[in-house]
Amino acid sequence: MRRAPSDVENQNQNPSQQVSRSSNSFRGSEGLDESDIQMKGWMRKQKETLRSWPRRYFTLSGKVLTYFDSEDRSRPPRGVIKFIDVSSLTTEDNGLSLHQASGKEVRLIADTHVAYSAWLAVLTAALKKPESNKKHSCKDGWAHCLIEDDVWTRYYIVVNNDGFSCFETEDEDSELALSGLVRSVAEWDEKRFGLVVGLSKGRKIKLTFDSTEEKMSWLLSLEFAVSFGNSRIKKDYTRKLAKKASTAVTEVAPTASSGAVNSQVDDGVWI
């Protein structure tokens, strides 16, 4: 089996437990800061309809596994797995079996036994750990979506922090129809139980739901997504300013030091 560039990346490992780390620096996703992630790395995930195991890049935060098509997590995730139990998959070497509240089983295979052992240990520990007080928004469900003019389509919507994704079905391996980052949300008066969602790159999508309660539940979740995104953007901007200021100080410091040396050498006193 071909080894991925990064087998496993455990954010909270002791030196004696350390496994292979990626040489690439962490690239923030639309939903999580680096401090939120307990572990990340490549595994194979079994498709629900076919006997195939495509590679996915996983990140673990609490009792939620989020997976992507690549290590570049600037795009919304391919899917989200909220699990309530984990065990070894006896039918596959280095296999893991995750169980969800719905009764669905998700099967994964790690690349090596070291990676398998690390994932099993961290996933098991995550189940025993109390829920964090830190807010984390993940909501999914069906909605009628108006993406193109006058064409309504029913999609399965997943909102993970400020990440927004539309899937054709609720299956884990469903085709992704649309994705983006939530930038605004408002009630839509022209349609009963309607909302208008503003996405990244200036895109707009209109949604309708089956009841007032469902609409308001989604409105609250999407408002949190907007708030989360704004907070993340502000944090990133502050971090960039701090980095820029630090670079400027580093560039100025040698000049000041050089001037001090010159003033000592040529101080007008000759011996």
- The predicted structure's pLDDT at residue 254: 56
Q: Examine residue 50 and state whether it is found in any structural domain, yes or no.
A: yes
Residues 147 and 178 both lie in one domain: yes
Residues 178 and 87 both lie in one domain: no
Q: Pick from 128, 157, 183: which residue ends a domain?
A: 128
Q: Examine residue 257 and state whether it is found in any structural domain, yes or no.
A: no
CA 226, CA 223: separation in Å to the nearest integer? 5
Residues 84 and 145 both lie in one domain: no
Q: Examine residue 255 and state whether it is found in any structural domain, yes or no.
A: no
Provide the CATH number for the domain around residue 213. Answer: 2.30.29.30
Residues 13 and 121 both lie in one domain: yes
Give how far the C-alpha of residue 82 lies from the chain's centroid of Cα atoms, to the nearest Å: 13
| 10, 79 Cβ separation under 8 angstroms | no
Q: Examine residue 261 and state whether it is found in any structural domain, yes or no.
A: no
Residues 167 and 78 both lie in one domain: no
Show the 3-state SS of 104-140: CEEEEEECCHHHHHHHHHHHHHHHHCCCCCCCCCEEE
The total number of structural domains in the chain stands at 2
Residues 166 and 116 both lie in one domain: no
Q: Examine residue 32 and state whether it is found in any structural domain, yes or no.
A: yes
Q: Examine residue 154 and state whether it is found in any structural domain, yes or no.
A: yes
Residues 55 and 106 both lie in one domain: yes
Closest CA to 136 of 163, 160, 164: 160
End-to-end CA distance of the chain: 76
- The predicted structure's pLDDT at residue 27: 29
Q: Pick from 128, 154, 176: which residue ends a domain?
A: 128
- The predicted structure's pLDDT at residue 75: 76
Residues 92 and 148 both lie in one domain: no
Residues 64 and 148 both lie in one domain: no
Residues 150 and 84 both lie in one domain: no
CA 97, CA 80: separation in Å to the nearest integer? 15
Q: Record the pTM.
A: 0.49
Q: H-type helices in the chain, by residue range?
A: 113-128, 212-265
Residues 68 and 101 both lie in one domain: yes
Residues 77 and 146 both lie in one domain: no
The range of the structural domain enclosing residue 223 comes to 138-229
Q: Pick from 90, 108, 128: which residue ends a domain?
A: 128
Residue 119 CB neighbour total at 10 angstroms = 24
Q: What residues contact residue 195 under an 8 Å CB cut-off, 6+ apart?
A: 185, 186, 187, 188, 206, 207, 208, 209, 215, 218, 219, 222
State which residues of the chain have pLDDT below 70.
1-35, 131-137, 172, 249-271
Q: What residues contact residue 164 under an 8 Å CB cut-off, 6+ apart?
A: 76, 157, 158, 179, 180, 181, 182, 197, 199, 225
Q: Examine residue 73 and state whether it is found in any structural domain, yes or no.
A: yes
- The predicted structure's pLDDT at residue 54: 92
CA 5, CA 202: separation in Å to the nearest integer? 35
Q: Examine residue 245 and state whether it is found in any structural domain, yes or no.
A: no
